């Protein structure tokens, strides 16, 4: 484990370029603020620049939490945590790791959605790289302006931020938040994490008219010019940071699927909205099946939504069913999609390419409740970003059809959730096996307390990223997501299941991520995709490379 002290002044005494004095206090990767010891204050010319009292990191973390908790709302908390992130990276990650249950919803979903909507208005200090359509022809030069060596990039073009639509350059909050979780949840060195906003404009009229909008004030570049910019970015990233893992995030459907297809065999890349979501949902289904006693191949899964999340989950479920012996055709017929125009069926002529594999030969059905009545699914998965769509009737019908209905309301942020946890349990008389996209408090019904847990991608992507970096894999195929889903499901204990939790407790996330990283790296070695020979002890090798924010 690489402790933060290894990079701190005392650990790098001989580094000639190590910052000193005020420059040290202004460098978030080295700064410890009032946490600098007396010896460090002498050694690095800090005496007098800090108040005399030395605080331990524990005391600092305690002070941060007290301050954050008394703020009036979550957006203020987001701003305060972001500003800590800008001052003292180690302390920020320490606070996130130690209070992940409380802090993750503040630095990522759901608060990050609100922060992105107001990004221009709360913008203080830039974080990450803004590569704009005006940078065509000089993207490598822009990447070289970044002062560190990137091992992992999260890139968005801001066109489909969570369930909130086109937020243009304001979408930068997403890669920033996501990479904080890579560092906090999987111990990826924060210095090697690079958030990138590919700013090609926005079609959001409100933002274009907003005097404080931070992005290019133009409509989105599309077609060949867009593709050329993405291509230049990918080539430049690989040239400047050989082997870098590139995670696509929150691209709209019309780009997300084809960019993934285009690059997945050329570079170590994945789309978390499609593949990370798929793995976390599959893990949740596998956990639910431990309760129902059913097999995966016997499930009928009905999705509300037919976008990246729905088809991504369906694809991985199909692969998992095939792995359990079902023929591909039969496996696909176990997954059904409902989009804004009703059930996705063969006779429809308005279907986008990514839905076609699930356009089954069946009569058209106009609405979700009718689709539930017709198909009698064992599981419903909500990923349409339309709040309240798992109505009382839908939930009651699921409870009528199934002894233990599987109900995943995955849409984010909370306002878009298909139902609340309370609705899911109440309307199924406590029989739903429930997972959510946004956090919900425990629910007590007839004396039994249910603890719903988030089917959050953050269970998956940090470990996948760490495994990919450590093994220096050339690709990140679906096999790795399947392995990650199984590894995650294995972490769910019997006592988790007894209280209705389909995922492990979030505070165990570093342990969970380490196991996922190990299984991803093992897959890279097995498929001969790794860029280095397999170490004798994969888990120990991974552990040794993880960043520890303690000082």
Binding stretches for ligand NAD (CB under 6 A): 160, 162-163, 253, 273, 277, 280, 304-310, 338-340, 383-386, 410-412, 416, 437, 455-457
Q: Is 322 helix (H, G, I), strand (E, B) or coil?
A: helix
Q: Which is nearer to ligand NAD, 338 or 506 (CB)?
A: 338
Handedness of CA 214, 218, 222, 226 (dihedral sign): negative
Provide, rounded to whole angstroms, the least separation between the CB of residue 273 and ligand NAD: 4
Contact 38, 52 (CB under 8 A): no
Q: Which is nearer to ligand NAD, 128 or 307 (CB)?
A: 307
Provide, rounded to whole angstroms, the least separation between the CB of residue 459 and ligand NAD: 9
The strand ranges marked E within 359-472 are 379-382, 406-409, 433-436, 443-445, 448-450, 453-454
Q: Which is nearer to ligand NAD, 44 or 108 (CB)?
A: 108
Q: Which is nearer to ligand NAD, 12 or 300 (CB)?
A: 300
CA angle 4, 5, 7 (to 5 degrees): 75
Q: Which is nearer to ligand NAD, 265 or 367 (CB)?
A: 367
Provide, rounded to whole angstroms, the least separation between the CB of residue 216 and ligand NAD: 23
Q: Which is nearer to ligand NAD, 133 or 371 (CB)?
A: 371
| Given the residues 30, 44, 78, 108, the one annotated as active site | 108
Provide, rounded to whole angstroms, the least separation between the CB of residue 250 and ligand NAD: 8
Residue matched to tokens 């077609």:
223
Residue matched to tokens 């069926």:
345
Name which of 172, 186, 167 is nearest 128 in CA terms: 172
Q: Which is nearer to ligand NAD, 112 or 196 (CB)?
A: 112
Which residue, judged by CB position, is nearest to ligand NAD in the bound state? 307
Distances 529 to 241, 480, 524 between C-alpha atoms, Å: 18, 11, 5
Q: Is 14 helix (H, G, I), strand (E, B) or coil?
A: coil
Provide, rounded to whole angstroms, the least separation between the CB of residue 364 and ligand NAD: 14
Name which of 538, 548, 481, 470 is nearest 510 in CA terms: 548
Instruction: Report phi then psi at 364, rounded to 5.
Output: -60, 145
Q: How far apart are CA 155 and CA 197, in angstroms?
A: 6
| Given the residues 32, 178, 355, 416, the one annotated as active site | 178
Q: How far apart are CA 18 and CA 76, in angstroms?
A: 33
Q: Which is nearer to ligand NAD, 28 or 305 (CB)?
A: 305
The helix or strand, by DSSP H or E, that contains position 173, with its residue range, turns out to be helix 173-186
Tell me how far apart the 2 most distant CA atoms of the chain are, in Å: 78
Provide, rounded to whole angstroms, the least separation between the CB of residue 257 and ligand NAD: 9
Handedness of CA 227, 228, 230, 231 (dihedral sign): positive
CA atoms within 13 Å, Cβ hemisphere of 312:
25
Adjacent-strand bridge partners of 449: 444
Contact 187, 171 (CB under 8 A): no
Provide, rounded to whole angstroms, the least separation between the CB of residue 311 and ligand NAD: 8
Provide, rounded to whole angstroms, the least separation between the CB of residue 387 and ligand NAD: 9
CA atoms within 13 Å, Cβ hemisphere of 159:
18
Contact 548, 90 (CB under 8 A): no
Q: Is 178 considered catalytic here?
A: yes
Q: Is 78 considered catalytic here?
A: no
Residue matched to tokens 């206090």:
25
Residues with catalytic roles: 108, 178
């Amino acid at each position: 484990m690489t402790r933060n002290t290894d990079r701190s002044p005392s650990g790098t005494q001989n580094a000639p370029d190590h910052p000193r004095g005020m420059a040290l206090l202004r460098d978030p990767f080295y700064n410890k603020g009032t946490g600098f010891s007396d010896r460090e204050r002498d050694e690095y010319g800090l005496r007098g620049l800090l108040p005399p009292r030395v605080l331990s990191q524990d005391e600092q973390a305690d002070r941060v939490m007290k301050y954050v908790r008394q703020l009036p709302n979550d957006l203020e908390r987001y701003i305060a945590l972001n500003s800590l992130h800008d001052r003292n990276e180690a302390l920020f990650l320490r606070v996130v790791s130690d209070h992940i249950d409380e802090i993750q919803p503040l630095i990522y979903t759901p608060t990050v959605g609100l922060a992105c909507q107001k990004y221009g208005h709360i913008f203080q200090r830039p974080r990450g790289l803004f590569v704009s359509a005006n940078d065509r022809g000089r993207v490598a030069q822009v990447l070289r302006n970044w002062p560190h060596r990137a091992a992992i990039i999260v890139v968005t073009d801001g066109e489909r931020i969570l369930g909130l639509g086109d937020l243009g350059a304001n979408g930068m909050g997403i890669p920033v938040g996501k990479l904080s979780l890579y560092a906090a949840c999987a111990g990826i060195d924060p210095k090697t994490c690079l958030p990138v906003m590919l700013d090609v404009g926005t079609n959001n009229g409100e933002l274009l008219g907003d005097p404080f909008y931070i992005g290019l004030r133009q409509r989105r570049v599309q077609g060949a010019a867009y593709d050329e910019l993405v291509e230049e970015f990918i080539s430049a990233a690989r040239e400047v940071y050989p082997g870098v893992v590139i995670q696509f995030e929150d691209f709209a459907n019309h780009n997300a699927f084809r960019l993934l297809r285009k690059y997945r065999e050329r570079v170590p890349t994945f789309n978390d909205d499609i593949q990370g979501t798929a793995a976390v949902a599959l893990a949740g289904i596998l956990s639910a099946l431990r309760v129902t006693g059913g097999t995966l191949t016997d499930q009928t899964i009905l999705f509300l939504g037919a976008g990246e999340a729905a088809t991504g989950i369906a694809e991985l479920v199909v692969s998992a069913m095939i792995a359990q012996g079902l023929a591909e055709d039969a496996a696909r017929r176990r997954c059904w999609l409902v989009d804004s125009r009703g059930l996705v069926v063969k006779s429809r002529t308005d279907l986008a390419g990514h839905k076609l594999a699930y356009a089954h030969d069946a009569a058209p059905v106009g609405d979700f409740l009718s689709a539930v009545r017709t198909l009698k699914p064992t599981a419903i998965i909500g990923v349409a970003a339309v709040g309240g769509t798992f109505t009382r009737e839908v939930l009651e019908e699921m409870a009528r059809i199934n002894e233990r209905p599987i109900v995943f309301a995955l849409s984010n942020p909370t306002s878009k959730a298909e139902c609340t946890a309370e609705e899911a349990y109440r309307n199924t008389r406590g029989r739903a096996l429930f997972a959510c996209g946004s956090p919900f408090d425990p629910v007590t019904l007839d004396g039994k307390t249910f603890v719903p847990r988030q089917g959050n991608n953050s269970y998956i992507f940090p470990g996948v990223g760490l495994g990919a970096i450590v093994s220096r894999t050339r690709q990140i195929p679906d096999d790795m997501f399947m392995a990650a889903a199984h590894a995650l499901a294995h972490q769910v204990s019997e006592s988790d299941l007894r209280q209705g939790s389909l995922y492990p407790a979030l505070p165990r996330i570093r342990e969970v991520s380490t196991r996922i990283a190990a299984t991803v790296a093992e897959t890279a070695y097995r498929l001969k995709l790794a860029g280095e020979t397999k170490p004798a002890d994969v888990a120990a090798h991974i552990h040794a490379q993880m960043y520890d924010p303690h000082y």
